[in-house]
Structure formats: structure tokens, C-alpha cells
Structure 1
């Protein structure tokens, strides 16, 4: 039976499983089917994998984590090839890669004429009600006033809106220090893209829309821009990250720092958090590399959907904001888990 299984894997066996009303297809590949696999820096990917692999609960993953920590740069590629199998997971939706980053804003711990737009901690009643108030109600009803929920104030409401989309960031304070904030919860309303709304209104075509284009439009049209921001009812609250070193990335969904161009946000319904994922991103700046699923996002839904972390600051933001490419993503699963996808009697 094992011989038959290995032969099927070497042939790239197509395996199908049903999840609810949608059909999910699993295809077990071989490493030589991964475009560019041999040329990647597997040691860099291994370092990112070991940053979170101790968080796995399952014995097989934890065993692999222990083995991973014993590897050297020279044995990294062999480790992945020996203990994992590449699994292409498809749910009928086209593959889409987008990008995210850690923004840098200018702000203060105290309000002033310049710094007027607060970042809030999550109020207790929002924890008890899902959904809670929407974005418009939170910002116009006075429900947040005089409660000491402010973490800091920034000078640009548009940048604050995009900070909420990214979920974490750095705020440069007047005294030269930097305050780092991370995701602290949300109001429970679904995210609605204001870029999609601009396209729906006929203001821009889809290929024209980027974060910078949206920001500039909102600033040129302050009243209509404010209403556009209200189109997204989702509202994100923050928490201050006091002990996160400056040289580390923001915290992802696993509460560990993510790594530029090695960490991705995925849909955990299809891709296990902490799993290695091979990326074949087409389009401008074609990318072939092994990454690790260490984050999630409200807009990241589907088995062939990933958000690539680009780093911190304006350059990372520009690269992330224009990314919208097709390609393929392949999850690396422990061998026994990959074999377990085989239908009975295969």
C-alpha cells in the first residue's frame, strides 16, 4: 500500500474532497513540480518556520518543529523535501496575491490642534456584542468620548483608516520615540472595500485603484471622502505593543513577528497557520519562494488567496499597495497528513 501511495504522489495524484456545498480539490505534487524550488533560500524559510512552529498543538507538527530546530543552512532544503509533501488546494476560485505592510504614522500621546484623530482601545461592551456599532456610529455618536480609551492621536484620518486595514503600525512621537500598535479587536461588521466602491461609482477603473490613489481622492474630496470611508462599516481597535523590538516585524495572527517577503496571511479554513507555503506569483516582479502562513485577514478568503507581507514604511507600502497578481500557492504538509487526503481505497 505504501508503495502505491508513493507512486501516486510521484505522479501528482489528484485527490478530491467535499467541504459543504463547495468542492475542494487536493493535488499532491512533487518538489520538482514547483517552479524555481531549487533556487530558493530554504534556510531563510526554515528560520521563519521555526519562529512559530512551537505553537502547533498536533504531535506530528511538533515533532517536525523539533527536527527543524536541529537543521543547518545546508540541510534546510533536505528537511522540507524529506518530511513534507506539496499539496495544491483548489476551491474553484482563481489565485490572487495581494500585499500588506506595517505603516508609519506621525502622532502624539496627547491631543493637539495637529494631532486630532485618536486610535482607540477596544471598549468592554464591544467584546460582549457582535456586531457592535458600525464605523459611522463609533466616530459620530460620542460613544468613545472621555473614557480614556485613546492610545494616541495622529495627524491624518486617511492614514489612520489604512492603519486599521493593515492592523498594525508604528507611530513616530514628537520626542523621537516610536509607539508600536497591533490589532486589538474589531466591531464585528464585515469589511467593505472602498476601492471597489470607487470602481462601482465609475470614478476609477479597477486597474487604476491603489492605496495611494484612494488616499489622494479622499483628500481632494474631504466631505465625499469621509462618506466613502463610512462605506466600510468595519472598525479596528488597537493595543500598544510595549515589548516588541524595533528590529522585529509586527505581530501576526500567531502573536509572533512576521517577516518581510517570507510571511503571508492566509485563510486558515484551508491553510494551517504555521505551515510552509510555496508561492508562485506571476505578473510584475515574479516571485518564486517558500513562505510561512503566519497571519490572517478579513479579506483573505479561499484556498488560493494570500496576502504577502512586504515590511515597514512607505516603500513597503507602495509595493504592497499595487500588488494584485495571479499565480499559484502550494501548501507543504507533513507526509502523513498529505497521504491522509487520499480517498479510501486509492
Structure 2
């Protein structure tokens, strides 16, 4: 098994992704990784195994076969991978995301009046389609039966769209799950950055909770502020996911609290192991798996850490905005194809 994997990895070296010429690749050793020795490599390997069967390139598929043959976890990563520091001029930034829980109903009422929509067919055929303002203030969605559910809080619905998936608690105590079902094709614009531009807050003061509280204190100005983001996300109902599992990420598999991250796939292959060194008030030194993406996650050193489900996870995610660095664990020959000067 190991000899076959090594052969496949070598044959796939020429398929390493071509990145922009101004991107830098530095190959480090595992001894360069702060905290590598004390991490739970077995936990990381379990999460890697959740999604590696869906990776397409031959070298990744070969290593996935080895990963699923019950190897020693730390030895597996050290034998078949090399840590690659990918940089393109922007400092590292780690933020957090979570699976929200909203109160809702399958029918509109005086309380539950903010709809979650399925994607209309014309939004799939035309990109960009209508903006957030046009969708929310016009009648393009009316009377078409596209509603999945109605919720009681428009601000939480806005942030549900940013997160991309969540749970809706119904009045009878049951819960339904919704996931990303498409978007209108407009670029995401940060309302937090807009608040800074308008002089409402300084950059270091802005968080999801700060934005929510300000919008609720200033309902008219707040509603207008949210329309500053023209991007609009549609949903789909998910009925085949066990309640104890995390939401599905971009690889259409459940993601794992504390081990899954969202990355920019222009730099980090989905499914790849990523060593995270997040600084700040609550440092993280952990091997995580790139299983998700996000419209605001752009850059080689940009990542969103999945914090879990519910309000507490949401508060933790909202506070997270820290520097550090991350290194992608690449198959050995792929790593050296990206950084030939390191040979």
C-alpha cells in the first residue's frame, strides 16, 4: 500500500496546481510547527478520512487509501506530507464561523415573517441576478412557493446567509436544517467594513454581535446598512443529516467542531490538512482539515475556523479575529513541484 501510494504521488507531481507568479511557497519541516508534537493527530486523521475519498487528483486519492488503512496518525502525516507556507503579500487572518439556530415556522405568522428562499431557476441561469435590495424590496419572489420556512428575526437571517447553513427550531419543538442552495451572483460586501467607513466604529471594535446590536438599536438605519451587502444566499432543506453531526461544508460532508476550516480554494485544496497557528487571546495550535469555503475567505493566509452549533458557538466565532500563520500539508512531490528551489 505504501509503495503504491508513493508511486502515485510521484506520478502526480506534474499536476500540482499553477498559482499566481507572485505567490510564494516555502517548505518547512514538522519540527518548525509550534505544538505539532502535542496535537491529537488521530482526531485530525479521522476528519481527513471524512472527505479525502472525494478528492480527485491521483496523489491525494492514493494517500487517502493509505489513510483509511489504519496507519499511525502522526507517522502518516510526517511520512507522506510536507508543510508548505503559502503567502501572497497579505498578513494572516483567522476568523470563526458556526451553525446558527433560529426560531421559525413552516407557515408565515405575525411573529414569523422573514422567509428563507429556495433558489429560483432564473438565478441559476443569470449571474449576477437581482441584488439583495431588489430581492427584499421587490416582488420577484412573491407567490412562487419558494419559501422553506419563515423566521422571527431579520438580523439573524442576514447572518444565517453569511454562515451558509443552520437549524430552524419550529414551534412544536422539532428542528429542521437548511444548507447553502445557491446565491444571486453579487460580490459579498462587509457591513462591518462599511460601519468603519461611515465612522460608526473603529475597526478593532467591529464583531458580529456589535453589528447585530447596532442594527437592532437603529432599525431603519440598520435595515439600510444590511442592504449594503448585495450578495444574497438561497437555501435548501436538509433532511438526511443526523442531528449530532455538523453541517455540510463545501465538500458536501459534515464538518467537525474544532477540526474543520473554511479556506480560499485558489490556494488551498479542499480536503487538505492545514496546520493552524492562531495567536490572540485563545491561541490555537492544531491540525485541521480544509473542508469548506466562504465568500469572505480570500487569500493564501485566510481561514475561518468552525466553532460549532448554537448561540455559545456564535459568540465565540464572533470574537475571533486573530493573526498567526497556517501551513498546508501537501503530498511531498506536489510540495516540491510548487517550490522547486527547496529541492
Bin for the TM-score computed over the shorter chain: over 0.9
Report the equivalent of 1:141: 138
The residue matched to 1:180 in structure 2 has which SS? strand
Report the equivalent of 1:46: 45
Residue 250 (structure 2) pairs with residue 253 (structure 1): yes
Deviations 1:165-221 (A, max 9, x none): 000000000111101000000000011111111111111111111111111111111
- Whole-angstrom CA distance in 2 between matches of 1:120 and 1:185: 10
- Whole-angstrom CA distance in 2 between matches of 1:310 and 1:175: 27
- Whole-angstrom CA distance in 2 between matches of 1:342 and 1:334: 12
- Whole-angstrom CA distance in 2 between matches of 1:301 and 1:337: 22
Residue 221 (structure 2) pairs with residue 237 (structure 1): no
Deviation at 1:58, TM superposition (A): 1.4
Residue correspondence of structure 1 range 254-333 to structure 2 within 5 A: 254-333=251-330
**TM-score, with length taken from structure 2:** 0.93
Task: Figure out how many residues of one structure are paired with residues of the other and give that number.
Answer: 327
The answer to whether the 8 Å contact 2:19/2:267 transfers is: no
1:192 to 158, 179, 189: 189
The answer to whether the 8 Å contact 1:71/1:79 transfers is: no
Q: Which runs of 4+ in 1 moved over 2 A?
A: 17-20, 341-346
Deviation at 1:343, TM superposition (A): 3.1
- Whole-angstrom CA distance in 2 between matches of 1:309 and 1:273: 15
The answer to whether the 8 Å contact 1:18/1:24 transfers is: no
The answer to whether the 8 Å contact 2:26/2:342 transfers is: no
Deviation at 1:278, TM superposition (A): 0.1
- Whole-angstrom CA distance in 1 between matches of 2:296 and 2:187: 9
Report the equivalent of 1:60: 59
- Whole-angstrom CA distance in 2 between matches of 1:124 and 1:276: 36
1:167 to 164, 174, 179: 164
Residue correspondence of structure 1 range 4-83 to structure 2 within 5 A: 19-20=19-20, 23-71=22-70, 75-83=72-80
- Whole-angstrom CA distance in 2 between matches of 1:79 and 1:18: 26
The residue matched to 1:23 in structure 2 has which SS? coil
Report the equivalent of 2:155: 158
**TM-score, with length taken from structure 1:** 0.92
- Whole-angstrom CA distance in 2 between matches of 1:215 and 1:249: 24
RCO greater where, 1 or 2, for CA within 8 Å and sep 6 or more? 2
The answer to whether the 8 Å contact 1:264/1:291 transfers is: yes
- Whole-angstrom CA distance in 1 between matches of 2:137 and 2:222: 15
